[in-house]
Structure 1
Amino acid sequence: MGAGTGPRGSRPTVADVAREAGVSVATAGRALGGYGRVREDLRARIREAADRLGYSPNAIARSMRSGGTRSIGFIGADIANPYFAAAMRGVCDVARAEGYEAILFNVDDRLDVERNAVQVLLDKQIDGIVVSPTSVTDVGHLRRAQERGVPVVLLDRTSPLVDADSVVIDNVAAARGATAHLLDRGHRRIGLLASIDPAEGPELVAAPGGAGLGVRGAARPSVDRIRGFLAALDERAVTADRELVRFGPFLDVTTAEREAVALLSLPDPPTAVFAAENVTTQGLYTAARRCGRAVPGDLSLVGFDDLDWTSLVDPPVTVVAQSPIDMGRAAAERLFRRIKGDDAPRERIVLPTRLVVRSSTAEL
């Protein structure tokens, strides 16, 4: 790369300097901005890289970042969802232990609101951000935060387009295990109910070789759970039926229930259904009652997230359990390592899930 130029002859950016120096964008931002903790050897390497590229920091951006505020931001997709409420608690617990305050944003799964939240946090000279990104493909605002020297950690979702740590679960394996549980009980006509982002929604396609179904789409939790569901069927040589695979923007229980009723009202309905989120789990459970389908006598059901209600209803629901509070803690702990100067390569931290078997499934 020539002096004074970034990719394709453009003015060099912090990201260009970071790439030249072999460090993260956030570390380069801190070194070039003269704030935060950066090892002296790294600081010197970054400045040498900046000199080679002819990098000149933007005076306005530099003036807006003059020191830490001992606060971090948490941007949640939907705080009304118990998952994000618990994750928020985990983030806040770690922040408090570190002597920091957490500024919380609920963005209702809207990218425009998320972009604005990031800008507000930057204006407040935040020290770092934990975010569950609305989009895994439109992440320019997160990269810009890093270029300002603000570490970013992704929660629940990851993106190859932003050089950031992430805390996730193995959604493919979790869905595969849930579906295998139903297959082990003799079910072959198994439905799926999943909530997806229509902007990055999946597409069902013919699997290689023409047998069965595959899914094409961004690596989001919901899409990966569809992948796991279809993989489990394929492993048992069970052909997936397109009319049993239902997904859409089911943002509340009412819309999820409506789709579940349509699924259960088919002329040849499924004998079992895997609901891939907590919202679709509740929608499916209420739809079964509305349709007069006894669980598990007429319908076996596996849901996602071990919420309190799933163990209190009759019958209690078999679920894939994850720990959002532990995920929030892990994300915040990783963020504080970055704030304190850790410049190790980005890490994808995968927390475990487990299948909690209760009474909502039965042998066919």
Structure 2
Amino acid sequence: MEDSAHPKRPVTVADVAKAAKVSKATAARVLGGYGVVSAQIKDQVMAAAAALEYRPNELARSMSTGRSGIIGVVVGDIENAFFSLAVRGISDAARLAGFNIIIANSGEQLDAERSAIDLLIGKRVDGLIVTPARCDRLDHLQHVRRTGVPLVLFDRAIPELDVDAVTGDDREAALTATRYLIGQGHRRLAYVSAMDAEKGGLTDIALISNSAVRERVEGFVSALAEAGLPNPLHYIRLGATDQHQTDAVMKRLLSETAPPTALLASDSLVGLRIFKSLQSLGLSMPQDVSMISFLDADWTSVTVPPITIVDQRVYELGKLAGERLVARIERTPLAVEHLRVTTSLVLRGSVATIGP
């Protein structure tokens, strides 16, 4: 019986070679997948490795081959179904190309993002997919470029960085959703986001550091402007970062002299928090307030009523980002691109038609 206080030492290439009755160099060639050996010798070595439960030293292998076989992924908030589904797409694309992934969660905090990137580079990942917490702080991402590690941005784009980015068509998605609400008769519309709020409220869209949020707000405001609706920034609310903050945001919105009749939620977590807030206030959807949420999260189709959503095709977004990074790792000659995945509006039961 193995003594748990003195665990068995790791099996080495030398141990495998001894068991297979071959030289250490031959065993290393078989286990490393390089050089030429006979089928019989290869079978002997692989059988010995299996019997001994040999596990390769990934760091040593990466130093000898120049590849770790690992892709690093830094996402904004793994609790958000958007990122969970995106990681599935990234993982599937990576696995198909022979890579594994390591996932780090920044919590949308810049310092955590920097630390995660440093850690992943230290583990000699072959490439990085990063969702930047801020699109106006580039030093750590520029450092990634200087190291030569291939980098693809996900969900957010930074043109100044000159690297590939894979995002949704955020501006067009918000424009389409807002036009639909206006077409249903709504004239007082609010946009609610989890992004940290500015003191005194939003006064300049250009100051929004998250490119996805900025583009959605631009689409929202453009739809209001083309419909001739006044004060398009008035009902934009940031800071719905948790249920408590969302409750506060909703109470302030609905206590306005002329409260909004329809809401556009920036993501599914915000949408769910809004749904709970309305329930706690004794309000019904869409009788009292209408809502459209970004992302076809599971909860949106099982509520009463089911929620009208912007389908962002998140799995495809993740898969495309994974494929793009693999192409960069393999040095496929491609121009730097901002790749946008189209969205669609899925109509359900959370939007009422109201009169003038």
State which of 341, 346, 355 in structure 1 corresponds to 2:331.
341
Aligned to 2:155: 156
Identify if the C-alpha distance between structure 1 residues 66 and 97 changes in structure 2 by more than 3 Å, giving closer, same or farther. Answer: closer
Aligned equivalent of 2:116: 117
Tell me which of 260, 271, 280 is aligned to 1:270: 260
SS in 2 for 1:73: strand
Q: What is the alpha-carbon distance in structure 2 between the residues aligned to residue 234 and residue 128 of structure 1?
A: 42
**Quick check: 1:237 aligned with 2:237?**
no
Contact 2:224 2:232 in 1 (8 A): no
* Offset of residue 230 of structure 1: 0.8
Paired residue for 2:288, among 298, 315, 324? 298
Name which of 220, 225, 231 aligns with 2:216: 225
> What is residue 192 of structure 1 aligned with on the other side?
191
Partner Cα distance (2:313, 2:274) in 1 = 22
Q: Name the amino acid aligned to 1:188.
A: R
TM-superposed CA distance for 1:66, in Å, is: 7.5
Correspondence for 1:47: none
Are residues 217 and 224 of structure 1, via their aligned partners in 2, closer, same or farther at CA, if it must alter by over 3 Å? Answer: same
- Quote the Cα distance in structure 1 between the aligned partners of 2:349 and 2:156: 31
What is the CA RMSD across the aligned residues, in angstroms? 2.2
Instruction: Provide structure 1 residue ranges, at least 5 long, that are not aligned to the other structure.
Output: 1-63, 206-213
- Cα 1:263–1:104 change in 2 (3 A) is same
Identity %: 34
C-alpha separation in 2, matches of 1:300 and 1:336: 42
- 199 and 187 in structure 1: CA distance in 2 versus 1, 3 angstrom threshold: closer
8 Å contact kept, 1:195–1:276: yes
After TM superposition, the structure 1 = structure 2 runs for residues 90-105 of structure 1, keeping only pairs within 5 Å, are 90-105=89-104
SS in 1 for 2:241: coil
Amino acid at match of 2:299: W
Q: Once the two structures are superposed, what CA deviation does each residue of 1:92-151 show, in whole Å capped at 9, x if it has no partner?
A: 111111111111111111111111111111111111001111121112212212221110
Normalised by the size of structure 1, how large is the TM-score? 0.75
Decide which moves more: 194-203 or 290-299. Answer: 194-203
How has the CA–CA distance of structure 1 residues 66 and 134 changed in structure 2, closer, same or farther, with 3 Å as cutoff?
farther
Contact 1:65 1:125 in 2 (8 A): no
Q: Per-residue displacement from partner, 1:130-186 (whole Å, max 9, x unpaired)?
A: 111112111221221222111000000011231210100111111111111111011
Q: Distance in 2 between matches of 1:94 and 1:202?
A: 41
How many residue pairs end up in the alignment?
292
Counterpart pick for 1:356 among 326, 343, 346: 346
Secondary structure of the corresponding residue to residue 268 of structure 1: coil
Counterpart of 2:129? 130
TM-score (norm 2): 0.77
8 Å contact from structure 2 (residues 191, 235) kept in 1:
yes
Q: Deviations over 1:239-277 (max 9, x none)?
A: 1355422112x3223322331222123232111111122
What's the CA shift for 1:201?
Answer: 11
CA distance 1:149–1:241, change in 2 (3 Å)? closer
How do 1:43-122 and structure 2 match up within 5 A? Answer: 67-122=66-121
The residue aligned with 2:141 is 142
The runs of at least 4 consecutive aligned structure 1 residues that moved more than 6 Å come to 199-202
Aligned residue type for 2:217: I
The amino acid that maps onto 1:165 is D
Contact 2:165–2:338 at 8 Å: present in 1 too?
yes
Equivalent residue for 1:280? Answer: 270
Following the alignment from structure 2 to structure 1, what is the Cα–Cα distance between the partners of residues 65 and 294?
A: 44
